[in-house]
Structure 1
């Protein structure tokens, strides 16, 4: 339970004495909408600086009727947390926001860079404004400064930024599309080289719902003479934020590969995330402490014969590039290492695996699970032919073990297959090193 929540009721501590979460949500919504209208009318925080102090003031104004902690960020309570992204068509993808220790620092860095761009003045069309507004909205949203109310705080903030730049942004037109669009920016499935793809939905949302304001003052704000582009790109502080975000975003895919290296054991995969989040909190000390180990772990993944497919290699390269960007003089990119064919694996380990798999197939069939039994049988036949365990065959083995380990009568057979699988994978690793005179041959998929 975090410090913003009443440990007895499980709802946010509030001025109204409400102990029901749904009732509190509605009361908060009603009160904050009234305050949002005040901000739109020009009552509330003023000025052209959008730093930590400004966002705290906006949050305090919006939620002053409901929360004693209005205006306090996650930093005050040391709250980090993690949230699943709202992305239709995907499984629960974790979103890691900025470290709570760095909230004010990052908001101030963004506010400073925004001011260098003259708060987006001088952008003559809604599309031009939308491109830069989406970029900054994504960064402020990733900081996710508050325990509750980040969405409304950013809407109020960017409505004011738009107003000062000669535009009006209506977030209510397509409100249901806002969360998926902003979550896509945080998850960053496409990576730093293709950042525009991850921001496309947010940029389009801004463009569709931004209109030029009438009047000479707004026209003057939009005049190209007001534009202040960043000639050298992001400031050093914001560039480091972007590098750290890329490293964190690249971590979940590498975690899956590390778990595969360890044959469904997650200790090193979990430790990988902890180390990366440590770098996110303190880049210099974190890279010094964990950089060497992360590079070695990445090398192990890259050399593993099971992960020579383009997708796995691309994800590993993405993580390596992100790590290298943070400390290029100490972090070298990792290139795939040539491997020898799986057919050179010792026959004994393959035979032991196939025998254990056949034994478990019989047990699953007897227990009334023909589906997992059939998948495991086909995987065993493929491994017997190729002497290679990976890809879809490894997944079939994992699914069968997950089922079998829940059935006491199959416990011994499941343990035998797990042991045989580890033996086969260890044999694969032993020959996954460069051999002079042999060309790089990836495993069949």
Structure 2
């Protein structure tokens, strides 16, 4: 049971109207009750007149879960619950943290208001609708208003949003694994603000698969381009929320890197940085004075450490931490933020272009093979997962965690890598894929004993374990 969890009993079982004390039994009862209600809500069009704000989401949650939980319709704020959740969606352990529970109402209000400025996404073609729906789905997901049931409440909300914009959004067409992975990838924000569209790409692609124009003249009228509003600039509240999320994800990852660097005091420094990030996440004023200095010094430590020169992901996070800490310091001083300049979204390649296989890189040394393997493994794992090979994808991601720390593959890692490559070879879209070729090329180098293995640098990078956040 999480500390101060007033939604659960002393054994961590969610308080429920049936007095059930077994988590599996409760989960089944919850599903048996909520899923038919979700289907009925979707069929009826959701909460009529809902503004996609705090009140709207509370009512959706209450309708879905009121037969099981006495706290249905209450947000995390009502019982002071914060919480977090681990994910391995990147191949490394990431801890997803949600909006401060005290800010849930104001954040949902800001998101609903921003959505209102876009006329509820009416008048958009299907590609634009799914693009903007992905943005809002991620914002609501990060706010994570409820102790339990956020996913189904979010499904009901997005389905209603689609219906009111002339589209059918059917989450039954996608597996829970794909849905959860796309949501998690958006949450961990691997890419910087200038490339924010890349963070939402899996979520957008998932929505494209389950969204179709609704039939009938009324739905067609809702898609009339005359109803479309130009994508407005983000409000000050939305900019502030994004800046704080950027500091949160990069700050925790930087803390994890420093905590895992060999050397006296590094673990304590990493823990201290994580505590500072947590404080700033809940109150930007905590960055004033020593707060921003700690973050800048932590970023510099990663950027200047000679052993980190090949840790491209960690170096990028350090640079992002420097920039985001400055932005949050400006928020603490009451200054207005400027939206980051985003890179233009490239058009989706045609099918023939996607299957084309440009020349794959052939590394010659372990130093060249290490980053190539990590990148290729991530892409091949994603392809395996999309083709129902989740176990092979998980194996490959686990190997990537070891390769990030040490440029060599042997033993069980070698066996798991070959199983993953064999699975990829059986899938037409992966067998001649550039990333699969680069995976093979890098493996052929990493399987050989390196001439020398540097022991003195940090065994840092993103750890599969990590400090508690």
- TM-score normalised to structure 2 length: 0.68
Correspondence 1:273 to 2:274: yes
In structure 2, the residue corresponding to 1:103 is in which secondary structure? helix
d(CA) in 2 for partners of 1:43, 1:200 = 27
Q: 1:81 corresponds to which residue?
A: 83
d(CA) in 1 for partners of 2:453, 2:93 = 31
Task: Evaluate the alpha carbon distance shift between residue 276 and residue 252 of structure 1 in structure 2; reply closer, same or farther with a 3 A threshold.
Answer: closer
Higher relative contact order (CA 8 A, sep 6+): 2
CA contact (8 A) 1:261 1:304 kept: no
d(CA) in 2 for partners of 1:209, 1:144 = 22
The structure number with the bigger radius of gyration is: 1
**1:79-126, Cα deviation, whole Å (9 max, x unpaired):** 111211252x713321111111111111111001000111111102x2
CA contact (8 A) 2:50 2:56 kept: no
- TM-score normalised to structure 1 length: 0.71
Deviation at 1:326, TM superposition (A): 2.2
Structure 2, unpaired ranges of 5+: 336-448, 464-469
d(CA) in 1 for partners of 2:286, 2:456 = 39
CA contact (8 A) 1:279 1:287 kept: no
My pick for the range that moved more, 89-98 or 176-185, is: 89-98
Deviation at 1:237, TM superposition (A): 0.6
Correspondence 1:166 to 2:169: no
Structure 1, unpaired ranges of 5+: 332-377, 399-445
Alignment of 1:44-123 (within 5 A): 45-85=47-87, 87=89, 90-123=91-124
Deviation at 1:173, TM superposition (A): 0.7
Deviation at 1:26, TM superposition (A): 0.9
d(CA) in 2 for partners of 1:289, 1:142 = 28
d(CA) in 1 for partners of 2:263, 2:51 = 50
Alignment of 1:6-45 (within 5 A): 6-7=9-10, 9-42=11-44, 45=47
Deviation at 1:265, TM superposition (A): 4.2
d(CA) in 1 for partners of 2:304, 2:166 = 54
CA contact (8 A) 2:167 2:214 kept: yes
d(CA) in 2 for partners of 1:292, 1:167 = 49
CA contact (8 A) 2:137 2:158 kept: yes
CA contact (8 A) 2:15 2:69 kept: yes
In structure 1, the residue corresponding to 2:172 is in which secondary structure? coil
d(CA) in 2 for partners of 1:44, 1:63 = 15
Task: Evaluate the alpha carbon distance shift between residue 390 and residue 170 of structure 1 in structure 2; reply closer, same or farther with a 3 A threshold.
Answer: same
Deviation at 1:175, TM superposition (A): 2.7
In structure 2, the residue corresponding to 1:41 is in which secondary structure? helix
d(CA) in 2 for partners of 1:10, 1:84 = 18
How many residues are matched? Answer: 343
Task: Evaluate the alpha carbon distance shift between residue 144 and residue 262 of structure 1 in structure 2; reply closer, same or farther with a 3 A threshold.
Answer: farther
My pick for the range that moved more, 48-57 or 255-264, is: 255-264
Task: Evaluate the alpha carbon distance shift between residue 76 and residue 328 of structure 1 in structure 2; reply closer, same or farther with a 3 A threshold.
Answer: closer
Correspondence 1:5 to 2:8: yes
Task: Evaluate the alpha carbon distance shift between residue 223 and residue 382 of structure 1 in structure 2; reply closer, same or farther with a 3 A threshold.
Answer: closer
Deviation at 1:288, TM superposition (A): 4.9
